Chain A
Amino acid sequence: MTETPDSTSGAAETAADAPAAPENIVPQNVVPENAAPETDAPVLEARGLVKHFPVRRGWALRGAYVHAVEDVNVSLHSGKVVAVVGESGSGKSTLARLLAQRTSLTGGELLWHGGRVPKAGRAYSSEVQLVLQDPFASLNPVHGLRYILGRPLKIHGTADGASTDEAIKSLLERVALTPSDQFIEKMPHELSGGQRQRVAIARALAVRPKVLLADEPVSMLDVSIRLGVLNLLADLRDRERLAILYVTHDLASARYLADTITVMYAGRVVESGPAVTVADSAQHPYTQLLLSAVPDPDRDGAPRLTGAGSPPSLIHPPAGCRFHPRCPFAMAKCKVQTPPAFAVGDGHTSSCWLHENDQNAQASPAADTAGAA
């Protein structure tokens, strides 16, 4: 596997060393104008985010809510990728939409560089951009790439008149769609899925955002071209120091791309920590279950699932730890009290009562009250 054919795509080459050594993020010679200063403070921070959707259908459920996201904390730092991993219905996409302010918060707060977050609208979307899952649906089929990429430039006043074409070409080059003077003339239907997703990323980059929220950006793409898009995201992190949220259901790709992994289950964060640590020594029973189910050709013999069943209804989520009905280690306490995030290692937390007696245990604020919601 070491002699994979050389990539013709520039992005894949420049990103070649990045995922292996995420600590050594030294901007290369070219420092783009939107590069953020080197600080430890998060660019965008979410504290105790809560989202409840009202249930609109059925008289029996009138007044009921879907508890989609409950007390979630996430910090996005420039030059880092945070992966949010979860199954369908875990609230991971809702989290991305909350961070993009596409939907209102039920509770919690967003902080921008530690201060007030710009109001939803043009000011905010020029800083935080969302890339969606389906590149076949997110590009207008009746417009060419010149129009698709020119719109955000015009609307946000990043480029005008004669310079627009140049700006569009440089965007195409940043996502490795070269030769750019040919691609600028193309229509979406002339592109493959991977190329479309690159256009969607280029469109997000047009406004020079500091944060990119990518919601399952590769799951609709063919296997052979997924890595190209993942490497492009790694490249944007390393060269342009973007803060990236990578939402996925695929633990292996999260381990490959991300600096930290946050695992969600039924609307709550169950485990969070450095990507390799979470994947290699998962602490929370749910993460362990997920790992035991993932296809892994290197596994010896048949895997043994450490838990069964499926996620609970979020209209009436289980009290206490939401995983307790499926958890092989569930105790009496788990059924009544929501576990706070306990430290289980350096920057590694697990929201499980099993880790209560570990040293350095720290309770997250508001965790106890949220369980009653």
Chain B
Amino acid sequence: MNALELSDPVLEISGLSVDYGFGPEAVHAVAGASLTLRSGEVLGLAGESGSGKSTLAYAVTRLLRDPGVITSGSAIFHGKDGEQDLFDLDEEDMRELRWSQISVVFQSAMNSLNPVFTIGVQLTDVLRAHNKGMGRGERKRRAAELLDMVGITADRLRSYPHELSGGMRQRVMIAMALALEPRVLIMDEPTTALDVVTQREILQELGELRERLGFAVLFITHDLSLLVELADTIAVMYAGRIVEHAPAEQLFRNPRHPYTEGLLGSFPALHGERKAMTGIPGSPPDLRQLPPGCPFHVRCGYALDVCSTQVPELLPIHWEPTEPRRAACLLHTDGFEAPESLKKTPETTAPRAAEIGSAL
């Protein structure tokens, strides 16, 4: 983890706000989100539907559709040609950068293969478009190499998309995304539509590829339990805001934000004693009618009166300022006392559930 703290940032998103629509009708899908992705890191972005996590990915890659508008913020990319603000680039430069340096895999990506062309044609097409100097034979060899990289044999180059299973098509999409050796790979729910065994295989391959090629991953999902295993650091979004950002292990063991705690308590465990769990009361927020103050206060068990008037900022924890983590909760700011359950540290944490389970 320490090595990662030191590694250079590749993508710095700061103060990003995205609206859908204009004027008083506008829905604030992302509100002042700041995130730093470091080279070689897997940054997990967790949130429920409507939390703004996908909008953030679309905004950063400038793929937002109308009526989505980026209203403020910057996204500094440290690429091969030095620092660039992605929001300042013109369409043509952005198109150049996308795929070659930042590539994206979406949830339904496996359905975005063209059904009338073979996998080989579609893979070599990417190489031809972005790499004019490459010869025909070389492209073909590279396409086979890419397929091999994601665990598909080269004879599949002649297959049409309908001849492949969902998992294989998603692998092809990952191979395509990596074709030009990008520095950043943004993955939005890449395995949600797949079965767990296939999901696991793809994630293991992704991990090996990252070790070898050293790209950074922004991994977006609603499945926090998956991120705990996969990511180095995790950011949790709620109602368009990042509410907590911490190293994965710390976030899982000792969450600081009440929403993170509630979300972690919403996944039944695979081991140990079966105990009743409650999830999070209330309903997910309606972005058109967000409550004033902290958007989570209406569902929060620790809410104070001040929570309904003051919007908390994403800040280091007041009582452990040296820890590399931040939370947007007034309970962790000066002058307030956080409840015990949100103050756990590695020393006070109870033994792991797995250890309890095996002891029984």
Contact = CB atoms under 8 A, between A and B. Distances in A.
B73 interface: no
Interface stretch (A119-127, A239-247, A300-308, A331-339): A300-308
A194 interface: yes
Given A223-B222, A255-B274, A256-B274, A7 B196 contact: no
Contact of B270 (A223, A227, A231, A296): A296
Contacts of B270: 251-252, 255, 279, 291, 294, 296, 298
Interface in A215-243: 222-228, 230-231
A299 B223 contact: no
Given A225-B283, A256-B268, A7 B278 contact: yes
Nearest to B300: A5
Interface stretch (A13-21, A28-36, A41-49, A60-68): A13-21
Interface residues on A, range: 35 or more
A140 interface: no
B354 A299 contact: yes
Interface residues of B, number: 56
Given A195-B283, A294-B270, A20 B301 contact: no
A337 B176 CA distance: 42
A301 to B, nearest CB: 10
A359 interface: no
Given A195-B283, A291-B270, A19 B276 contact: yes
A249 interface: yes
Interface string B56-87: 00000000000000000000000000000000
Interface of B: 48-49, 165, 167, 195-201, 204, 207, 222-226, 228-229, 252, 258, 261-271, 273-284, 299-302, 339-341, 352-354, 357
A192 interface: yes
A66 to B, nearest CB: 16
30 contacts: A1-B341, A4-B261, A5-B278, A6-B278, A6-B301, A7-B278, A9-B281, A19-B276, A20-B273, A20-B275, A87-B195, A192-B283, A223-B222, A223-B263, A223-B266, A225-B279, A228-B279, A249-B195, A256-B277, A290-B197, A293-B197, A296-B229, A297-B252, A298-B270, A299-B354, A302-B204, A302-B207, A305-B197, A310-B165, A310-B198
B200 A303 contact: yes
A222 B200 contact: no
Contacts of B196: 87, 249, 290, 293-295
A190 B195 CA distance: 32
Contacts of B165: 310
Contacts of B264: 1
Contacts of B266: 223-224, 226-227
Given A249-B195, A295-B225, A192 B284 contact: yes
Contacts of B352: 298
Contacts of B281: 5-9, 12, 228
Nearest to A194: B283
Nearest to B165: A310
A291 B273 CA distance: 17
B330 to A, nearest CB: 16
A253 interface: yes
A227 B275 CA distance: 12
Nearest to A251: B270
Nearest to B357: A280
A84 to B, nearest CB: 15
Contacts, number: 163
Given A225-B279, A225-B284, A290-B196, A5 B225 contact: no
B288 to A, nearest CB: 12
Contacts of A295: 196, 223, 225-226, 228-229
A206 to B, nearest CB: 23
Shortest 3 CB-CB contacts between residues of A and residues of B: A5-B301, A227-B279, A256-B268
B48 A223 contact: yes
Nearest to B286: A192
Nearest to A3: B341
Nearest to B196: A293
A289 interface: yes
B277 A4 contact: yes
B279 A252 contact: no
B225 A4 contact: no
A169 B142 CA distance: 65
B262 A4 contact: yes
A280 B276 contact: no
Interface string A190-202: 0011110000000
Contacts of A315: none
Given A5-B258, A302-B204, A12 B224 contact: no
Contacts of A3: 301, 339-341
Contacts of B229: 295-297, 299
B262 A5 contact: yes
Contacts of B273: 20
Given A298-B269, A299-B229, A87 B197 contact: yes
B1 to A, nearest CB: 16
Contacts of A290: 196-197
A227 to B, nearest CB: 3
Contacts of B225: 295-297
